[in-house]
Amino acid sequence: MNDISTLRELFHRARRHDRGITYAARNGESDWISYAEWGTRMDLLAERLKQERLRPKFIGAVWMAPTPECLAVIGAVLLAGGIPLPIHSYMPGPDVLRLIRKFEPEAVFVSEDKLPTLEEWNMQGEELPFYLYAGMASGPIRGIGTAPRPVRRYTPPEATRMIFLSSGSTGEPKGIMLSDRNMLSNVNGILHYTSLCDEDTVLLSKSLGYCSTIVGEWFAAMACGANLILSGGFVHPFEMIRCVRSNKVTFLCTVPSAILPLIHSAKWVAEDLLPLRHLLIVGGPMPAGMLLRLADRLPHVRLMPSYGLTEASPRVSYLPYAQLRTKPQSAGIPLNGVELAIVQDGREVATGESGEVVVRGPNVMIGYYDDPDRTSEVLGPLGLHTRDTGYLDEDGYLHLTGRTDNALLVGGHTVHPEAVESVILSLPGVVDVAVSAVEDLQWGHRLIAVVVSETSTEPVSDSELHAWCVKRLSSALRPREFRFVTALPRTASGKLDRKALKSMVKEEDHVHRA
């Protein structure tokens, strides 16, 4: 699909009658629509939007349940000349209201179940100057918000085709502006390393608010003619297994927090996932020991961890399946067209030296919405500064060691908690772990490991953890205390919420000292 230069071209070319989208509802029911029929629905809404005389390059916020209708709305906004802003369907109403104030959308699309929330805002006297659409069947809902904003505080650059929200665990989400070139270059790179084709069936189970879901799964599937299975999300990983089996899913992209519980469970066998051909792990590193255990349990599946960030549209690197056994701790090699560099003190360092990971290529974002200061902080002459730390080995494989903003100072040593967590997680019986710290007059910080232990066997003890760390970690890297919990605080995307973890550890420390 290298000859496709815009998303509009992609949507027009993908209209096959023999391939399409299956909506697999949680109640077991399913409904199929061909890409051709889906495209017709998209066209009808796009024409209606054009008749509304919205300003060129209008922003259309999409706050809808994850259904084929939601995908059609995103596509219709694009075809009508607008800029889609996908919002996670699970996002609370007050947070959505803040986003609306920030991004000033001229049109907002909601599922019917969201209408009471917006009507409540209207009753409270909140001015909502946009057109509001409930799904695709109806026109704008008058009386809630009818007049487009006369003046924008900020107009995105001309090349902006979509805006995605950052998935960080702290602060207000940033708006990441991506172009056709950004996203389609990433689609090409993903198709190249996955060999995804029209015989595949791709499962979309992550939120449609993520760039990874939209670009790495939806756009990639349409580009090669693969079928899509769209789920409303899973409460438990076993629901994912049932969905893969019943829908003959061959391609699945998921996050470590969704797959780790399965590695520790004996309640499933490889035959339960027999249709699966490719399993991509994104959204965070998978400890090498866990990765190999999963590979042993799924010998028929091409298991490939990947690294990326929304600012890179989103995929940056992948670990080839052939190297899974030799470099399981690596984040792999860059996608076609993407370059990696390791930077320290403003200069690129040699192979094997550690520093910040910097990305260069056509996938690097335009910038942050209405935030030139933050944009200039991460986009520089050397490329996109990721704030991830790591090094490149002699074969050009990337090894991630932590985050520049997570680092802790312990006795004069810089400690990346991710490195400590990886060691502890390799202890049998440990299901999940996170390392934080409290201030210490002598050491600067005192490391504390918060551990989730396996419940079906004998729980891991404090002494076992201590002995494990003594053998594998230097003194500065060893936690001084272990605390046991039933679950770690995580964001809605499954990422560890380090801000909440820090507060929890600090609060408990005060209790212990009282």
**What integer pLDDT is reported at residue 167 of this predicted model?**
64
**Are 28 and 74 within 8 A, CB to CB?**
no
Of the three residues 145, 178, 211, the one that is the final residue of a domain is 178
CATH of the domain at 43: 3.40.50.980
Please enumerate, as own/partner, the contacts of 175-178 that have beta carbons within 8 Å and a separation of 24 or more.
175/85, 175/102, 175/103, 175/368, 175/369, 175/370, 175/371, 176/211, 176/310, 176/311, 176/365, 176/368, 176/369, 177/365, 177/366, 177/367, 177/368, 177/369, 178/211, 178/313, 178/365, 178/366
pTM of this prediction? 0.84
Is beta strand 251-254 parallel, antiparallel or unpaired with respect to 278-281?
parallel
Q: Is residue 252 part of a domain?
A: no
Of the three residues 178, 197, 220, the one that is the final residue of a domain is 178
Residue-level pLDDT, tens digit, the chain, 514 residues: 678 999 999 999 999 999 999 998 777 678 899 999 999 999 988 998 888 878 889 999 999 989 999 999 999 999 999 999 999 998 888 888 889 889 999 888 888 888 888 777 766 666 665 666 765 545 555 444 555 566 789 999 999 999 999 865 445 789 999 999 999 999 999 999 999 999 999 999 999 999 999 999 999 999 999 999 999 777 788 899 999 999 999 999 998 878 878 887 889 999 999 999 999 999 878 888 889 999 999 999 999 999 999 999 999 999 999 999 999 999 999 999 999 999 999 999 999 999 999 999 999 999 999 999 999 999 999 999 998 999 999 999 999 988 777 777 676 566 778 888 888 988 988 988 999 988 775 566 789 999 998 876 778 999 999 999 988 887 778 899 999 998 899 877 677 888 888 888 887 765 555 4
**What integer pLDDT is reported at residue 58 of this predicted model?**
93
Q: What is the DSSP string of 147-185?
A: S--SS-S----TTEEEEEE---SSSSPPEEEEEHHHHHH
Q: What are phi and psi of 48, to 5 degrees?
A: -65, -40
Q: Is residue 320 part of a domain?
A: no
Q: Is 263 left (phi over 0), alpha (psi -120 to 50) or beta?
A: alpha
**What integer pLDDT is reported at residue 380 of this predicted model?**
95
**What integer pLDDT is reported at residue 343 of this predicted model?**
97
Domain count of the fold of the chain = 2
Mark 221-253 as b/e (b = at least 16 C-beta within 10 Å): bbbbbbbbbbbebbeebeebbebbbebebbbbb
CATH of the domain at 509: 3.30.300.30
Domain that holds residue 482: 408-513
Q: What are phi and psi of 14, to 5 degrees?
A: -85, 10
Q: Is residue 210 part of a domain?
A: no
Q: CA 339, CA 362: separation in Å to the nearest integer?
A: 10
**Are 215 and 183 within 8 A, CB to CB?**
yes
* Integer angstrom CA distances of residue 512 from 410, 436, 443, 448, 488: 21, 16, 19, 13, 20
**What integer pLDDT is reported at residue 134 of this predicted model?**
64
Q: Is residue 3 part of a domain?
A: no
Q: What are phi and psi of 4, to 5 degrees?
A: -90, 125
Q: CA 498, CA 509: separation in Å to the nearest integer?
A: 16
Q: Is residue 419 part of a domain?
A: yes
Token duo for residue 401: 């060691």
Q: CA 109, CA 206: separation in Å to the nearest integer?
A: 20
Beta strands in 160-287 (DSSP E): 160-165, 175-179, 201-204, 227-231, 251-254, 278-281
Of the three residues 155, 178, 201, the one that is the final residue of a domain is 178
Q: CA 307, CA 429: separation in Å to the nearest integer?
A: 27
Q: Is residue 428 part of a domain?
A: yes
Q: Is residue 11 part of a domain?
A: no
Q: Is residue 218 part of a domain?
A: no
